[in-house]
Structure 1
């Protein structure tokens, strides 16, 4: 009888522990899914970017559209607020689009090196050129965050590993082409506009990383210049 009472007490004790935990876990998505009614400082610009009526006032439809954009690009908190991070991503997209098919218009990337991979940190773009001829790109990239800035200057690809895994962060780095210490071109499974950025590598989509893998070889030049916004 004593054993039965003890087992019953244990069962009730476990239930008492599990129930609050379940309620806590269940409440998190609801909180995370909340949509703000607050008008953000960049409301009108964000609305215009998203093709919404640009009246500068937050609405439920505005919030849903902003949240969808934030979710797609990993911008947190995902509450539909038109804040500086969300607008910063949109502004960068606008500037990237304006470049068109002439990314080296200012002549910052050397045209006397033959085939070279260029990385513009300011615009978060990369491309491959041969002399002044554009070979591929430009494509959006994701470079080093504040404190892990991708180093600038003229470099060379010195090692390629198609199935590389980081020995520091223990994450896959497919189509890795190293050009400066641990910094490399490689693909990632997140948005190219996902803040705050990489740990120094030049992240690319799988499509772009595969193309770079097919076009570049050990010994090819890489030129990195500019400064990533926010670093």
Structure 2
């Protein structure tokens, strides 16, 4: 019986010893487990700075697109396509005019390639309130025996219309017109040869 008590006492002592080792091991284990999250948290903070450094190249790569968007060579190639015509010889108009009217001198000319082919001939033009407008126009249409509906069917033989209702035509060289260019009958026949589209220049 004593022997049994001794065995039981020894067993209890071994069990107490083993339980003391187990608590020590668990204490060590808990310490090692608490250090592991600390090292993992440290590794997480080191991964953040590289992500901010990768954003810098994105902003620097946007600069070349603004420099390549400028396109200036297109404007330089379109300028030399429209040269201005020079002056005509012997008339106060430019060389591209087929008919030239000088309102202040009361004279008119026909031209071909910048040279006078007919004229100067005397004219009359618009009276006050019906002034003949200066400018560059084109022959729009012609009528050899035109009558004005606006002015009581007044005859306008050899009419060459170049600005709406304004035309060259045979008319009085003493009376001012309602805007048309009056020519002698001989001059009106010469001006009637002008084709549709011919340039008519009226200078003040």
Give 1:98-137 correspondences, 5 Å limit.
103-104=90-91, 108-111=92-95, 113=96, 116-137=98-119
Gaps of 5+ in 1: 1-101, 227-231
Q: TM-score, normalised to structure 2's length? A: 0.54
The residue aligned with 1:181 is 164
2:140 to 130, 139, 158: 158
Partner Cα separation in structure 2 for residue 123 and residue 147 of structure 1? 19
Contact kept in structure 1, 2:90 and 2:115, CA below 8 Å: no
Give 1:1-231 correspondences, 5 Å limit.
103-104=90-91, 108-111=92-95, 113=96, 116-169=98-151, 170-188=153-171, 190=172, 192=173, 194-195=174-175, 197-214=176-193, 216-226=194-204
Shift of 1:103: 4.3
Contact kept in structure 2, 1:142 and 1:204, CA below 8 Å: yes
Shift of 1:202: 0.3
SS of aligned partner of 1:173: strand
Contact kept in structure 2, 1:162 and 1:176, CA below 8 Å: yes
Superimposed CA distance per residue, residues 45-87 of structure 1 (whole angstroms, 9 cap, x where no aligned partner): xxxxxxxxxxxxxxxxxxxxxxxxxxxxxxxxxxxxxxxxxxx
Contact kept in structure 1, 2:148 and 2:155, CA below 8 Å: yes
Q: TM-score, normalised to structure 1's length? A: 0.48
Contact kept in structure 2, 1:151 and 1:224, CA below 8 Å: yes
**4+ runs of 1 displaced by more than 2 Å?**
none
Gaps of 5+ in 2: 1-88
Q: Which has the larger radius of gyration?
A: 2
Higher helix share goes to which structure? 2
Superposition CA RMSD, Å: 1.3
Count of residues in Structure 1 that have an aligned counterpart in Structure 2: 115
Shift of 1:131: 2.7
SS of aligned partner of 1:178: strand
SS of aligned partner of 1:168: coil
Contact kept in structure 2, 1:177 and 1:184, CA below 8 Å: yes
